[in-house]
Amino acid sequence: MAFESLADKLSAAFKKLKSKGKLNETDIKEAMREVKLALLEADVNYKVVKDFVKNVSERAVGQEVLESLTPAQQVIKIVNEELTALMGGQNARLVFPSKPPCIVLMCGLQGSGKTTHSAKLAKYFKGQGRRPLLVACDVYRPAAIEQLKIVGEKAGATVFEMGQGDPVKIASEGVKYAKDHGHDLVIIDTAGRLHIDEKLMEELKNIEKTVVPNEILLVVDAMTGQDAVNVADTFNKALPITGVILTKLDSDTRGGAAISVLQVTGKPIKFSGIGEKIDDLEPFHPERMASRILGMGDVLTLIEKAQDAVDEKEAAELAKKMKENSFDMNDLLDQLRQIRKMGSLRQIVSMLPGVGNKIDEMNLDDNQFTRIEAMITSMTKAERAKPSIINPSRKRRIAAGSGTEVQDVNRLLKQFEQMKQMMKKLGGGKKGKRRMRLPPMM
């Protein structure tokens, strides 16, 4: 996950401060030197680092730290606030015009993730009640249109294409189609560039002049660090980009691009890509990112993911079943599927406070979920409703059907029984005061 090594180094610098109790200027100077090195190693732009360290140092040698009873905590608080400010303070949203459709032009280098993120955006905004249209303007790579159709289908969005014609004409016809068919969001996927190429830049400018987009989003690959920032700077000088989508943050352990983009280009990161799947997109929240960098987790994003994954009506029904102790294997299966909708175990756990770089030592295997799902789906309707009827021969059949061992089935049944016992206790306890927690299934 992003920022692992940076988080690691910063936490080492702060640990030293914490061990000191009261701080003097030399302690702070020493810590700031380590923070500076950590940021440079994370591939943060040099000027950004210099300004950042200057701002933090000025505040940290002030009274708020030197006179504090918990000086190290004060320094961390200042670093947190300054990091948040560096990345823009608040989440920068897409600006939807009062008269639809909102036209979004996607641009970026080849392989940065434009096509994937066009579809991710479509899915994201569809979930918010919008009617997106994807427009295929990458006419040079024959497979690009096909790729957009495939990811568009996953997003449940209509794809407008005219084969390998003139991209400027396709873009304007796409917008016309959107207006005629009630699409309130048009996402235009354009051709990638190996590097900033004059001819293709001209084409982007012509599309821009013709369709007058509300948003021009530049897609950059976080893994390329400083290069991503330089690319953003160059694009920004040629086109009036309104924001950045920082992709592949899941594979970027350094995080330099995330921290530098806004300071170098003046344009905010609006979304980040955190995986290859269609749902692996997050609005970019600077304060949450700062919190992740400082190893404090990101509970707000976790809660939002849970809210998206859980259907309120189903949750109420489930609570009722727990209370009446009529929770069965079908309900467990539903629960597991909801958790999986929130992302991979690694993605979920990485958002918990205090996990940080320890995540690599954890044995987070999504296959455990797959095995449990396979076992439950290998059970008959009667077995799922009343697992107590599962005798040894049924266990053998379930194990064979799910590609697992009889011990796995035994373990699942035992854990299910423990869970029921716990629900029984909670159901009879102080009503509504305590929440059930599933015991670990692994």
The phi, psi pair for 133, rounded to 5°, reads -125, 130
Residue 241 Cβ vs ligand GTP, minimum distance, rounded to whole Å: 15
Q: What is the DSSP string of 375-394?
A: HHHTS-HHHHH-GGG--HHH
- Residue 275 marked ligand-binding: no
Beta strand pairing status for 269-273 and 281-283?
Answer: antiparallel
Sheet strand arrangement including 102-108: 158-160, 132-136, 185-189, 102-108, 215-221, 243-247, 269-273, 281-283
CA-to-CA dists, residue 178 to 154, 214, 266, 324, 365, angstroms: 19, 15, 31, 50, 43
Q: In the beta sheet, which residues pair with residue 200?
A: none
Residue of the chain from 27, 138, 279, 298 that contacts ligand GTP (CB under 6 A): 138
276 vs 324, beta carbon nearer ligand GTP: 276
The reply to whether 343 sits near ligand GTP by the rule CB under 6 A is: no
Tokens, residue 147: 């790729």
The reply to whether 115 sits near ligand GTP by the rule CB under 6 A is: yes
The reply to whether 116 sits near ligand GTP by the rule CB under 6 A is: yes
Contact region with ligand GTP (CB under 6 A), list: 244-252, 303-311, 382-390, 398-406: 244-252
Q: At how many degrees (to 10) do helices 114-126 and 142-155 cross?
A: 20
The reply to whether 402 sits near ligand GTP by the rule CB under 6 A is: no
Residue 217 Cβ vs ligand GTP, minimum distance, rounded to whole Å: 12
HEC string for 104-128: EEEEEECCCCHHHHHHHHHHHHHCC
Site string for ligand GTP, 140-179 (x = CB under 6 A): -x--x-----------------------------------
The reply to whether 197 sits near ligand GTP by the rule CB under 6 A is: no
The reply to whether 4 sits near ligand GTP by the rule CB under 6 A is: no
Residue 321 Cβ vs ligand GTP, minimum distance, rounded to whole Å: 37
Task: List the Cα angle 408/412/413 in 5-degree steps.
Answer: 115
CA-to-CA dists, residue 405 to 31, 368, 380, 408, angstroms: 53, 13, 18, 5
The reply to whether 113 sits near ligand GTP by the rule CB under 6 A is: yes
The phi, psi pair for 248, rounded to 5°, reads 60, 30
Residue of the chain from 248, 288, 371, 384 that contacts ligand GTP (CB under 6 A): 248
C-alpha to C-alpha distance for 216 and 208, rounded to whole angstroms: 8
Site string for ligand GTP, 290-329 (x = CB under 6 A): ----------------------------------------
The reply to whether 286 sits near ligand GTP by the rule CB under 6 A is: no
Mention every residue, 6+ apart, whose C-beta is less than 8 A from residue 17.
Answer: 23, 27, 28, 31, 71, 72, 75
Residue 119 Cβ vs ligand GTP, minimum distance, rounded to whole Å: 8
The reply to whether 279 sits near ligand GTP by the rule CB under 6 A is: no
CB atoms closer than 10 angstroms to residue 397 = 16
Residue 212 Cβ vs ligand GTP, minimum distance, rounded to whole Å: 23
Residue of the chain from 90, 110, 307, 418 that contacts ligand GTP (CB under 6 A): 110
- Residue 23 marked ligand-binding: no
- Residue 109 marked ligand-binding: yes
CB atoms closer than 10 angstroms to residue 204 = 22
The reply to whether 250 sits near ligand GTP by the rule CB under 6 A is: yes
Residue 190 Cβ vs ligand GTP, minimum distance, rounded to whole Å: 8
Residue 257 Cβ vs ligand GTP, minimum distance, rounded to whole Å: 13
Q: 113 near 221, Cβ under 8 Å?
A: yes
Q: Which residues are annotated as a binding site for GTP?
A: 108-115, 189-193, 247-250
Give residues in contact with ligand GTP (CB under 6 A).
108, 110-116, 138, 141, 144, 192, 247-248, 250-251, 273-276, 280
